[in-house]
């Protein structure tokens, strides 16, 4: 009988040890799962800034590569006063002629030589002048270098012709100072410059988004790492109900 009692005690001890071993393995698996959850930290709060900068860089580079290059050529005309006209008058007329360089009447004169329609010619020519100089710069733009030069020269000739018809009354005539030549390099920005502009624009938008977003407090990764061991230690402890249930089982046995 004594041997049977000892044998039963030994079996109970083995079962209890097995249960403890199973509980330890379960606790270890829970701890491992919690550690994996802690390691999968959310992205930092400033992630939109580099993301927007990279997107801007890609968009700007693609625009610079895909867009056809544009050429610009400039022709110069100068307002010259006659013997009875003061130089200041010529400066004032240069400002006035710069304004009518892109008018319908001037473009109608230039359209046959430019070889394009007046509507298209209006979008591909511009006139600029300085308040300190009686010189007018007429710039033509096109996807073709030769066409850009033809546009600038055609508008400059048309402006000189129309203004010189009234030179006797105004005392000022326009003379061609320098003809436009076909440029060798495009005036449009290269892919590298477009990419740099896109990078700056994307970074600016990302920074504005960070400033404008709601000011909700997010938990920092350092706090999550510090809280991880505490959570694991607390989870590894058996609950109060588990202690009571274990004591009840042992008392029944």
What pLDDT does 216 receive? 52
Q: Which of 64-68, 70-74, 176-180, 245-249 is predicted with the least confidence, judged by mean pLDDT? A: 245-249
pLDDT bucket at 225, cuts 50 / 70 / 90: very low
Higher pLDDT, 177 or 243: 177
What pLDDT does 52 receive? 84
Q: What angle do CA 138, 126, 114 make, to 5 degrees?
A: 70
Q: Cα(219)–Cα(42) distance, rounded to whole angstroms?
A: 9
Q: Assess contact for 136 and 152: CB atoms under 8 A.
A: no
pLDDT at 139 over 90: yes
Q: Assess contact for 149 and 181: CB atoms under 8 A.
A: yes
Q: Cα(29)–Cα(39) distance, rounded to whole angstroms?
A: 15
Q: Which residues pair with 71 in a beta bridge?
A: 142
Q: What is the mean pLDDT of residues 117-124?
A: 86
pLDDT at 95 over 50: yes
Q: What is the mean pLDDT of residues 121-134?
A: 88
Q: Which of 24-33, 34-43, 111-120 is predicted with the least confidence, judged by mean pLDDT? A: 34-43
pLDDT bucket at 5, cuts 50 / 70 / 90: low
Ordered alpha helix ranges (H), the chain: 2-39, 48-66, 87-100, 104-114, 118-123, 145-164, 167-170, 191-212, 221-236, 240-252
Q: Cα(210)–Cα(216) distance, rounded to whole angstroms?
A: 12
Q: Assess contact for 181 and 172: CB atoms under 8 A.
A: no
What pLDDT does 125 receive? 92
Q: Cα(217)–Cα(128) distance, rounded to whole angstroms?
A: 54
Tell me the pLDDT of the chain averaged across its residues. 75
Q: What is the mean pLDDT of residues 142-160?
A: 91
Q: Which pair of structure tokens corresponds to residue 15?
A: 């079962």
> Which of 46-50, 109-113, 137-141, 210-214 has the highest mean predicted lDDT (pLDDT)?
137-141
pLDDT bucket at 226, cuts 50 / 70 / 90: very low
Q: Cα(199)–Cα(121) distance, rounded to whole angstroms?
A: 34
Q: What is the mean pLDDT of residues 12-19?
A: 58
pLDDT bucket at 150, cuts 50 / 70 / 90: very high
What pLDDT does 151 receive? 92
Q: List, in order, residues 6 or more apart from 84 with CB less than 8 Å away.
A: 171
pLDDT bucket at 15, cuts 50 / 70 / 90: low
Q: Assess contact for 197 and 58: CB atoms under 8 A.
A: no
Q: Which of 14-18, 111-115, 221-225 is predicted with the least confidence, judged by mean pLDDT? A: 221-225
Q: Which pair of structure tokens corresponds to residue 151?
A: 């546009």
Q: What is the mean pLDDT of residues 238-244?
A: 47
DSSP string, 15-43: HHHHHHHHHHHHHHHHHHHHHHHHHSPPP
Q: List, in order, residues 6 or more apart from 102 with CB less than 8 Å away.
A: 122, 125, 126, 127, 155
pTM exceeding 0.85: no
Q: How many CB atoms lie within 10 A of CB 126?
A: 18
């Amino acid at each position: 009988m004594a041997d049977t009692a000892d044998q039963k005690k030994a079996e109970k001890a083995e079962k209890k040890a097995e249960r403890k071993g199973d509980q330890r393995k379960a606790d270890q698996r829970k701890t491992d799962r919690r550690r994996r959850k802690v390691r999968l930290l959310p992205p930092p709060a400033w992630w939109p800034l580099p993301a927007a900068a990279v997107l801007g860089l890609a968009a700007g580079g693609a625009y610079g590569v895909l867009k056809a290059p544009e050429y610009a050529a400039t022709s110069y005309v100068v307002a010259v006063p006659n013997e009875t006209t003061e130089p200041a008058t010529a400066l004032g007329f240069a400002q006035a002629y710069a304004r009518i360089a892109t008018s319908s009447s001037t473009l109608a004169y230039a359209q046959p030589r430019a070889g394009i329609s007046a509507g298209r010619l209006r979008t591909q020519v511009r006139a600029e002048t300085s308040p300190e100089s009686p010189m007018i710069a007429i710039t033509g733009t096109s996807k073709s270098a030769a066409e850009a030069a033809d546009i600038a020269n055609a508008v400059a000739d048309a402006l000189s012709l129309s203004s010189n018809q009234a030179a006797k009354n105004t005392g000022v005539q326009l003379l061609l100072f320098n003809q436009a030549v076909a440029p060798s390099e495009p005036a449009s920005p290269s892919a590298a410059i477009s990419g740099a502009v896109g990078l700056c624009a994307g970074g600016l938008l990302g920074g504005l988004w960070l400033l404008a977003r709601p000011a909700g407090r997010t938990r920092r990764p350092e706090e999550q790492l510090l809280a991880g061991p505490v959570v694991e230690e607390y989870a590894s402890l058996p609950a109060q109900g588990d202690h009571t249930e274990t004591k009840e089982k042992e008392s029944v046995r």
